[in-house]
């Protein structure tokens, strides 16, 4: 409940405090390659399921660890991993 209230407060503040520099958009992850072939995505998922960590998978696939993290996050969101990924505490 407090997180919702804080977001509402932030939105209200932004309405009044917004300067022109705040109106632009920021493209996130532009330095990462977020396209994966089906085979590479399958390999990443299988390595994860076999107990390898993100850094090991990145080294094996010659990809940035952040790209591996995001690929596994996507797979997890769609229920394609059995091994827990990104548990909420």
For the question of whether the overall pTM of this predicted structure is more than 0.85, the answer is no
H/E segment holding residue 82:
none
Quote the pLDDT of residue 25. Answer: 82
CA dihedral 10, 14, 19, 23 (to 10 degrees): 90
Q: Averaged in consecutive runs of 10 residues, what is the pLDDT profile of the chain (89 residues)? A: 61 59 79 95 96 96 96 93 75
Looking at domain 24-89, which CATH architecture does it have?
A: Orthogonal Bundle (1.10)
The dihedral sign for the CA sequence 42, 43, 46, 47: negative
Radius of gyration in angstroms for the set of CA atoms belonging to the chain, rounded to a whole number: 18
Closest C-alpha to 70, from 38, 88, 46, 44? 44
């Amino acid at each position: 409940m407090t997180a919702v209230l804080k977001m509402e407060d932030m939105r209200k503040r932004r309405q009044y405090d917004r300067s022109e520099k705040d109106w632009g958009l920021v493209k996130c992850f532009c330095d990462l390659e977020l396209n994966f072939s089906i085979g590479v995505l399958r390999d990443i998922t299988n390595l994860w399921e076999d107990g390898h960590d993100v850094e090991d998978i990145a080294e094996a696939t010659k990809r940035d660890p952040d790209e591996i993290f995001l690929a596994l996050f996507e797979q997890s969101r769609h229920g394609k991993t059995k091994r827990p990924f990104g548990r909420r505490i």
